[in-house]
A and B are shown apart, each in its own frame.
Chain A
Amino acid sequence: MVGGVVTKVGSLDSNKTGSWRSFRPVIDREKCIGCGLCKKFCPDVCIEIKDKKAEVDYDYCKGCLICKSVCPVQAISSEEEEK
C-alpha cells in the first residue's frame, strides 16, 4: 500500500522562489576569486561557479544574503529590490 508516488525527480524547480526576494545579492566579478564558499552555503542551490566566478540564478534566489556574509573577499554587495 503506497499513499502517493512522485516520479519526476527535482520537479519542484517549477516553483520560482525568486519572487520572495527583498534584497538582491550582486557579485563584483573583479573581486570574486571563485572560491565557491557562497555556493557551498547557499540554501537555495542557486549559485554556480562559471569561469571561476560566482553567478546567482535570480529565478530562485530568496535574498537571504548568506553568500554576502560568508564571502572572504567582500565581493558580494546587496541592493534593495524595486517593486
Chain B
Amino acid sequence: MSSEVISSGHSACAGCGEIIGERMVLEALGKDVIVCQATGCMEITTTPYPRTAFKVPWLHVTFENAASAASGIVEADRKLGRNTTVVAIGGDGGMMDIGVRALSGVMERGHDLMLVVTDNEAYMNTGIQRSSGTPKYAATTTTPAGSVVPGKREWKKSISRIAIAHGIPYVATASIGFPEDLVAKVKKAQGIKGPKLLHIYTPCPVGWGYDSSKTVYYAKKIVETGLWPLYEIENGKLTISQRPTFAPLEEYFTGQKRYKHIKPEHIKEVSERVKAGWKELEKQEKAGVDLMLLP
C-alpha cells in the first residue's frame, strides 16, 4: 500500500510526525514537483541507496544546501520553459541551523520555490542533539536536565520571522494536527510567485519521549496552548489562522520525557512569554503593519 507520493516500507520510527508532514505537503503539491531534501531523518529513512520510498523526483545533496540545489533546478527549469513546482524541504537542523545560509541566500535572490521546514525541535537522526529549533527547558542529549541547569537555556529561534525579514511574499506556520489548514497553506503558497516558506510542527515520539500514539495529540495541543501560533504573512500582512484557547501548558508538557524536570516557575515563564507574544501578534494583525517594511 502507499500514497501517490510515498510508499510504505520507509524506516521512519513508529508514530513519526515528520513523515506525516512531508507526505501532507507533497500530496498537496501534486505530481509535477521536484523535491530537494536536506540531510536528516526524512532522507535516511526514505532513501537507503539503492532504494527509495518516494514516487516523485527527489534529490539529496548535502546537509546545508537543499535550498541552493533547489534554486539551481528552478533556474534551469525556467530556461527550459518548464513550470514544475520545486520544493526544498528539511528539518530544523537542515533549514534553521546548518542550511540557514543557503535558505537566506535563495530568499534574498528571490527564486520561485517552496521552502519547507519540518520542525521536530532537535537533531533526531543523529541522536537528539539540541538545535536552534529546540524550545527552552527541553532536555536533549547536549542540553541534559540536571539539578543546576533545567535543559536548554535559550528560547526557540523564529525561522518565520527570519524569513519575512527577507521581504518574501509568503510565510506561514502550520501543524500536522491541523491538516486542512496545512494543505490550504501549501496550495496557496504553490500559486504565489517567488520564495515562500512554510514552518511545520512535526512531533517526534522518540526524541521527545512520549507514547507513539500521541503524535497528533501533541500536534493539536501545542496550538491550543498558544505555544505554536498558526498564522500566515502574505505580502507582509499577518493573518492569524486560528486563535488558541490558551489551554494550560501542563496539558502539553505532561507525558513528554524531555520536559519531565520542568517546574512550575518554568511553566509560568513560558506562559507569560506566550501571552506577551500573542498580544504582539494580535496587535500586528489589527494594525495591518507591513512586516516586509520593518527595518
- Interface contact B215-A64, CB-CB below 8 Å: yes
With A6-B47, A43-B20, A45-B23 as known contacts, state yes or no: A13 contacts B9, CB within 8 Å.
Answer: yes
Q: Look across to chain B and name the residue whose beta carbon is closest to the beta carbon of A69.
A: B213
B8 interface residue per 8 A CB criterion: yes
Q: Given A6-B52, A45-B1, A60-B1, decide whether A15 and B9 contact each other with a Cβ distance below 8 A.
A: yes
Answer yes or no: B242 CB below 8 A from chain A CBs. no
Specify which of B13, B49, B213 is in contact with A4 (CB 8 Å cutoff): B49
Q: Whole-angstrom distance between the alpha carbons of A7 and B48 in the complex?
A: 13
In the bound complex, do residue B14 and residue A69 qualify as a contact, i.e. CB atoms below 8 Å apart?
Answer: no
On whether A64 and B9 interact (CB within 8 A), knowing A12-B52, A48-B1, the answer reads no
B1-14 interface code vs A (CB 8 A; 1 in, 0 out): 11100111111111
| Chain B: CB-nearest residue to A6 | B52
Q: B-facing mask of A50-77, CB < 8 A → 1, else 0?
A: 0000000101101111101110000000
Residues of A in contact (CB 8 Å), total 34
Partner of B50, one of A6, A46, A64: A6
Q: Which residue of A lies closest to B61 (CB)?
A: A3
A31 shortest CB reach to chain B, Å: 18
In whole angstroms, how far apart are the Cα atoms of A71 and B136 in the complex? 32
Q: Are A60 and B9 in contact (CB under 8 A)?
A: yes
Closest residue of chain B to A23 (Cβ to Cβ) is B213
Q: Which residue of A lies closest to B23 (CB)?
A: A45
CB < 8 Å neighbour of B179 from A13, A40, A69? A40
- Say whether chain A's binding surface is mostly helix, strand, loop, or mixed: loop
Total cross-chain contacts (CB, 8 A)? 111
In whole Å, how far is A50's beta carbon from the nearest beta carbon of chain B?
11
What is the chain A residue whose CB lies nearest that of B211? A65
Q: Does B52 lie within 8 Å of A17, measured CB to CB? A: no
User: A81 in the interface, Cβ–Cβ < 8 Å?
Assistant: no
> Are B23 and A11 touching (Cβ within 8 A)?
no
Q: Residues of B contacting A12 with CB < 8 Å?
A: 7, 9-10, 46-48, 51-53
| Docked-complex contact A17 and B11, CB < 8 angstroms | yes
The answer to whether A70 touches B216, judged by C-beta atoms less than 8 angstroms apart, is yes
- Chain A residue numbers with a CB within 8 Å of B9 are 12-17, 60
Check A83 for interface membership: any CB of B closer than 8 A: no
**A9→B55 contact, CB < 8 A:** yes
Contact of B212 among A15, A40, A65 (CB under 8 A): A65
Task: Kindly list 4 other residue pairs between chains A and B, CB separation below 8 angstroms, not including A9-B52, A66-B15.
Answer: A40-B179, A41-B179, A43-B16, A69-B217
Q: Answer whether A9 and B54 are a contact pair too, CB < 8 Å, given A60-B1, A66-B215.
A: yes
Q: How many angstroms between the C-alpha atoms of A4 and B61 in the bound complex? A: 10
> B20 to A41, Cβ gap below 8 A?
yes
Contact residues in A for B47 (Cβ distance below 8 Å)? 6, 12
